[in-house]
């Protein structure tokens, strides 16, 4: 059983490390946070306005131009960039209009898949899950359970950035409309 326990821990770590890498770095995972931009009300737009006043003062002299740019600002005008809660986005890249920490990553595992990979029974896998002390795992008190969860803490976060290229292109479009 000790060999099986060692293989179980190694498999759990492998699955958790792969999922943590996905949650912290993969574009699809970051895109899952974009909707928070609109849910946080005017914060993102206010931050963009501050950025524009500092970096594009000539453009911001016209309230009408700012209004047009603000109307075009939406979830499609941003890029999600992975980072760390103690870092910032370089303003040469664009304007950070929001950031969201991951804090805890939850990963769901199927007992059957673990049993297959470990070449053991599902009940043996359940016993290993119940006995696990080194990882934060949670399982249903229903017996037998078919899935279990593992949790990992992280300082990673996703930054919501309006790229300078979007700002420059949008300004150019607005100014060409005026001609």
Predicted confidence (pLDDT) per residue in 41-65, tens digit: 788 999 999 999 999 999 999 999 9
pLDDT at 1: 61
Per the structure block, which two tokens stand in for 169? 């292109």
Count how many domains the chain has.
1
Could you say which DSSP state residue 73 is in?
-
End-to-end CA distance of the chain: 78
Give residue for tokens 């595992």: 109
User: Is residue 141 very low, low, confident or very high in pLDDT (cuts 50, 70, 90)?
Assistant: confident
Q: Return the closest-CA partner of residue 151 out of 98, 102, 94, 116.
A: 102
Rounded Cα distance between 29 and 163, Å, is 19
Domain of 34, in residue numbers: 2-178
Q: Return the closest-CA partner of residue 70 out of 81, 79, 60, 80.
A: 60
Half-sphere exposure of 64 (CA within 13 A, CB side): 4
pLDDT value at 137 more than 90? no
Each residue of 74-107: pLDDT tens digit? 989 999 999 999 999 999 999 999 999 999 999 9
């Amino acid at each position: 059983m000790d060999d099986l326990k060692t293989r179980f821990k190694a498999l759990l770590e492998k699955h958790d490390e792969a999922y943590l890498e996905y949650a912290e770095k993969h574009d699809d995972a970051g895109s899952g946070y974009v909707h928070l931009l609109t849910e946080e009300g005017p914060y993102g737009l206010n931050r963009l306005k501050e950025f524009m006043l500092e970096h594009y003062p000539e453009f911001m002299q016209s309230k009408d131009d700012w209004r047009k740019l603000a109307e075009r600002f939406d979830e499609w005008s941003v890029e999600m960039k992975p980072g760390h809660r103690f870092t910032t986005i370089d303003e040469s890249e664009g304007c950070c209009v929001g950031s969201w920490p991951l804090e805890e990553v939850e990963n769901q595992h199927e007992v059957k898949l673990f049993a297959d990979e470990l070449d053991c029974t599902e009940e043996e896998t359940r016993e290993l899950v119940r006995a696990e002390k080194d990882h934060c795992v949670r399982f249903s008190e229903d017996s037998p359970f078919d899935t279990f969860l593992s949790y990992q803490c992280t300082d990673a976060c996703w930054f919501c950035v309006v790229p300078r290229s979007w700002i420059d292109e949008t300004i150019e479009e607005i100014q060409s409309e005026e001609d």
